Amino acid sequence: MASIGVIGAGTWGTALAVLLNGNGHQTEIWSAIPEEVEELKAAHVHRNLPEVRIPETVGFTADLQEAMADKDLLVLAVPSVFVRETARKMRNYLKEGQIITNVAKGIEENTLMTLSQIIEEELPQAEVTVLSGPSHAEEVSKGLPTTCVAGARKKHVAEFVQSIFMSRTFRVYTSPDILGIELGSALKNVIALAAGMADGLGYGDNTKAALITRGIAEISRLGIDMGGKMETFAGLTGIGDLIVTCASMHSRNRRAGILMGQGRTMEEAMAEVKMVVEGVYSAKAALALSQKYHVSMPIVEQVNEILFNGMPAKEAVSELMLRDKRIENSGLEWEEE
C-alpha cells in the first residue's frame, strides 16, 4: 500500500482519488478552498460527480504541507492555469526525488512551456511524471474500463506509476515520450472546441471525422517538429484522447464549442459550462507554437479567430473548406508519368 496526496479537488483529482483508494492506497485530497474541504468531509460526494460516493477512508485537507508529508506519490490535479502557482507553493514541502504525477492538460500561454516543464522549473528536486489518455472523470469514478499512459524519463519510475494506478478497470501503459504525451493532451482540447462548434452549427458525422483526422495531422506535425514521437500521436494520448474529447458530452471543451457554434461568445460559453475549459487557454499557445515552428495549423488558426477576434463559427468553416488545394500526405510518392 502506498501513501498518496492528490493536489487538487476537481472532478479529475477526485475520480483518481477514488480509483487509488480502491487500489488499496492511503489517499488524501488537498483543496486550496477550506469551504470545499468541509463540504467534501461532510458529504463525501463531489458536487460535479453526484452519483459517486467518495469512500470514508479518503482524507481531505486544506493544509498543503499535510497533504504532501510522507507521501510516496503526489498527484498534481489542479487546472493547467494554476499549475505554476501550486508548484511554487509546494516547493518548501517537497523532499528530494519525490515523484509528482501531473494529470492536468495544457500549455502555458506566456512561456509556451508544457506543464511538466513548468513543474521541473519550479520544483527541480522532483521526479516529474505524467498520466494522460482518453479518460473522463465521470467514467473513471464509476469504474468503467479506461486506458491511460504513464510517461516518465526513467523506465522504473514509469513502471512505479503504472503499478500504483493499474486496476481491473484502469489499464496503464508506459512511455518515455513525456513531451509527445503532453502536446497531444493539450492540443486536442483546441480541436475539440472546433468539433463542438461544428455540432452547435448542426453539422454531421462527416464534419466531425474531418476535424478529428485533420486535427491529429496538425497536432502530429507540430509535435514531431518539437521533438515528440509519431507513435505517441497515433496512440492513446494522441488520436485516442482526441476522439473521446471531440465525441463525448462529458468533454467540457466540446460542450463549450457547441454553445459557441449556437452563437454564444467564448465568455458566455465558459460561464455556462461552469468548469475550466482548457482548450480556451491552450488555443493562443498552440497558435504561437505553430508560428514559432513554422507549422501549418489551419484549424487552430480558425479557432483562435472565433475565440478572440469575433469571427462567426460558420464563416470559419468556410475559410477551412475554401483553402488552396492540398495533397493529403506529402510523404507519399506518385508513379512516374
What single DSSP character describes residue 114? B
Distance CA 175, CA 238 (A): 13
Taking each helix axis from N to C end, the angle separating 278-292 and 205-226, rounded to the nearest 10 degrees, works out to 50
Q: Which amino acid is at 18?
A: V
The dihedral of CA 190, 194, 196, 200: what is its sign? positive
Is 188 considered catalytic here?
yes
CA distance linking residue 71 with residue 115, whole number of Å: 21
What Rg value do the Cα atoms of the chain yield, rounded? 20
Tell me the H-state helices in the chain.
11-22, 34-43, 64-68, 83-90, 115-122, 137-140, 155-165, 178-200, 205-226, 230-233, 241-247, 252-261, 266-273, 278-292, 298-309, 313-321
DSSP assignment string, 85-97: HHHHHHGGGPPTT
Do the beta carbons of residue 228 and residue 176 sit within 8 Å? no
Q: What is the rounded distance in angstroms from the CA atom of residue 279 to the CA atom of residue 285?
A: 10
Residue among 105, 188, 208, 229 flagged as catalytic: 188
Written as nine digits, the cell of 328 is 493529403
Cα-based angle 133, 241, 318 (whole degrees, multiple of 5):
160
In this structure, what C-alpha cell is assigned to residue 181? Answer: 504525451
Active site residues: 188
